[in-house]
Amino acid sequence: TPAVAEPLGLGRPALPEEIAAWDTTVLPDGTGLPEGSGDVLTGEEVFAENCASCHGEFAEGLDSWPVLAGGNGSLTDPRPVKTIGSYWPHLSTVYDYVHRSMPFGQAQTLSVDDTYAITAFLLYSNGLVEDDFTLTRENFASIALPNATGFYADDRDQTEYPVFSVEPCMADCRSAPPEVTKRAVELNVTPKDEDGKPAGTLPPLTLAAETGAT
Amino acid sequence: MTDEPKTSRRAFLAGTAAAGAGLVATAATAQTPDPLITEVQEWASVFGDPVDATPYGMPIEFESHVVRRNVEWLTESTASSINFTPIHALEGTITPQGCAFERHHSGAITLSKQDYRLMINGLVDKPLVFTFEDLLRFPRQISIAFCECAANGGMEWGGAQLEGCQFTQGMIHNMEYTGVMLRDLLAEAGVKPEGKWVYVEGADASSNGRSIPLEKALDDVMVAFFANGEALRKEHGYPVRLVVPGWEGNMWVKWLRRISVYDQAVESREETSKYTDLMPDGRARKWTWVLDAKSVITQPSPQAPIRHGAGPLVITGLAWSGNGKITRVDISTDGGNSWTPARITGEARSKALTRFHYDMTWDGSEMFIMSRAVDETGYVQPTKQALREIRGVNNVYHNNGIQVWWVRADGEVENVEIA
């Protein structure tokens, strides 16, 4: 750890009201949770009013908006469905993120109790509590999400760096000539210029090519 | 916007070189004199623009293809989305700010220096509030670093999908930053011994909160105000962003408003739901902060076909590593059968974009061209297949696999995978 510089005396003390306004972060152990509560049925109403227009009445997601419930057991499927119930490790993240950054386009409009209620409703939508459940600051830490143990810290230094940190082949590396297995042009999903070339293609600098362009 | 350059180019050529039809392309073997030389051109006779015409300039109209582009279907909202740097058209290493990619989660906000506040709280001796004016009084440092989105190339995990390195490798920019070291700000507040993590969040609605281990925070993380000589662009975090050399772009929090010290990671949405990397057994890596050694040939590439025919050909590209300096870039023109080191042109700085060139003679036959970066740790950029053998295809992030371009005999270039 490098030496820490001497203070310069810049800045001024943060006031408690200021810290309370900006530090709304909730940690996995529940640190940061405010006093409050909310039940599933209240959460269903608040969700219907504020969230369902994108995320669906049952948190199942409308159109291509994020799916908040479902997908359980899909994490080894060809196309996994990663939701709060199937993927997220901590309930703290649900409370914290909803309270601070949702609804999309109108963030920080939910009260503490609204956020507890929505969080309770999302637990219910994911089949994790009964419909009479009330979430409080006190029982918050007792809720474990299904994928709580589904993550591990970056292990590339064990599993990849030794494999890839060897002197590479420089000559006669292939046993057979290269064979094309995938072509992006077959998907044809890139934005295009008028002439059908990928958008932003460098303009031809020859008059012949210029004339040929539409 | 896409048809502007063509229109203006045509007007330009029609107005000034009509008499030279057919000669521009064949000037080297011209039998008749080139009127662009033998006739006095307008620009060689009359005035150009006066010095008071353009207080802050934009690129000349003929370069209007060198712009950011987005791909509509990638995200559900353009306020939480990505666009791409036109790396196919750039040279050197410094990215012009005006076309450097953007990634927002709730749009690019407008935050004045007057309204700006930065708070440090949590496990510190003295929670503090700074104004922008305060921040300008700390000792400054300069650092050049690449900012690469963790998702750069993520659409290519399952196969070749997008046509052009702007789209497949363009969630990246490289700037020269000036700012103050995060460690100097933390020293002002005094980190308590139990403080192990720093949580940083932005002033925007998404907040983009991320946890950074204290060791990194005290090492080379910068709180930056200037990029490429001037204030940060609005879309890049004006007036203050975090610069986290070598680490995934998501952690480069923009419009930085709070730094909090904790004894544990917050495990926020952006480090649980997102920026975690699903592996074949259904578990996921978290805290995959570093971006591994990577490279791409920027020309020729699908947006930069070869139109000049056989003969001398410049292969140019970018290499970078979050684990230090690039020490070598190898080029193959035969699909990886044989490799030759390219030239590093300019400096290979730690955790910064590095330019390479490879000058060759093209015989006009098709090629499979590839680049392979090596960094100072000895790590050699892997193939996509080598990565998939370990990670499967649903990692989403951290795709640093070798890119293959199929150069066709007509000079057109395709994004392909080969076996």
CA distance A167 to B381: 11
Q: B403-413: per-residue pLDDT in tens?
A: 999 999 999 99
Q: Which of A25, A152, A169 has its CB closest to that of B283?
A: A152
- Note the helical H segments in B203-268: 214-219
How many angstroms separate the CA atoms of B20 and B25, rounded? Answer: 10
- B220 has a pLDDT exceeding 90: yes
Q: Which residues of A touch B89 (CB under 8 A)?
A: 200, 202
Mutate to test the interface with B, among A186, A201, A206, A214 (most CBs of B within 10 A): A201
Instruction: Determine contact: A162 vs chain B, CB below 8 A.
Output: no
On the question of pLDDT at A209 being above 60, the answer is no
Strand B284-286 versus strand A151-153 pairing type: parallel
Place of tokens 């407008």: B110
For the entire predicted model, the pTM comes to: 0.93
B283–A28 CB contact, under 8 Å: no
In this prediction, residue B29 carries a pLDDT of: 66
Contact A198 B164 (CB under 8 A): yes
Cβ distance B66 to A213 less than 8 Å, yes or no, reads: no
Pull the structure tokens for residue B29.
Answer: 């073997």
CA distance B202 to B185: 16
**Which residues, 6+ apart, have CB-to-CB distance to B119 below 8 Å?**
A14, A18, A19, A22, A23, B127, B128, B129, B130, B257, B258, B259, B260
Which single residue is written with the structure tokens 């080297």? B28
CB within 8 Å of A213: residues ≥ 6 apart? A195, A203, A204, B6
ipTM: 0.94
Q: Which of B252, B67, B92, B111 is nearest to B177 (CA)?
A: B252
DSSP state of A167: P
Instruction: For chain A, give the number of residues.
Output: 214
Residue B68: both structure tokens together: 């950011």
C-beta atoms of B166 and A200 within 8 A: yes
CB contact at 8 A, A14 and B141: no
User: What structural domains and CATH numbers belong to chain B?
Assistant: 3-44 (no CATH), 82-285 (3.90.420.10), 294-416 (2.60.40.650)
Q: Over 80: is that where the pLDDT of B187 sits?
A: yes
Instruction: Return the residue in B88, B337, B400 with the most chain A beta carbons within 10 A, the one to mutate for interface testing.
Output: B337
The partner residue sitting opposite A27, judged by closest CB among B266, B286, B381, is: B266
Structure tokens at B246: 């070598």
Q: Cα–Cα distance between B369 and B306 in angstroms, integer?
A: 13
Contacts of B121 in chain A (CB under 8 A): 14, 19, 22-23
pLDDT digits (tens, 9 = 90+) for B366-392: 999 999 999 999 999 999 999 999 999
Residue with tokens 């709280």: B121
What does the pLDDT average to over A178-191?
A: 97
Write down the pLDDT at residue B22: 39
Longest dimension (CA), chain B: 81
Which chain B residues are within 8 Å of A4, Cβ to Cβ? 183, 186-187, 191, 218
Measured between CB atoms, does A2 come within 8 Å of chain B? yes
Query: Across all residues in chain B, what is the average pLDDT?
Result: 94
Residue of A nearest to B266 (CA): A27
Spatial separation of the C-alpha atoms in residues A209 and A203, rounded to whole Å: 9
Confidence band for B246, pLDDT divided at 50, 70 and 90: very high
What is the rounded average pLDDT of the residues B235-259? 98
- Asked if pLDDT for residue A213 goes beyond 90, the answer is no
pLDDT of amino acid A59: 96
Backbone angles phi, psi at B208, to 5 degrees: 55, 35
Is B3 a residue whose pLDDT tops 60? no
User: Contact B338/A19, CB-based, under 8 Å?
Assistant: no
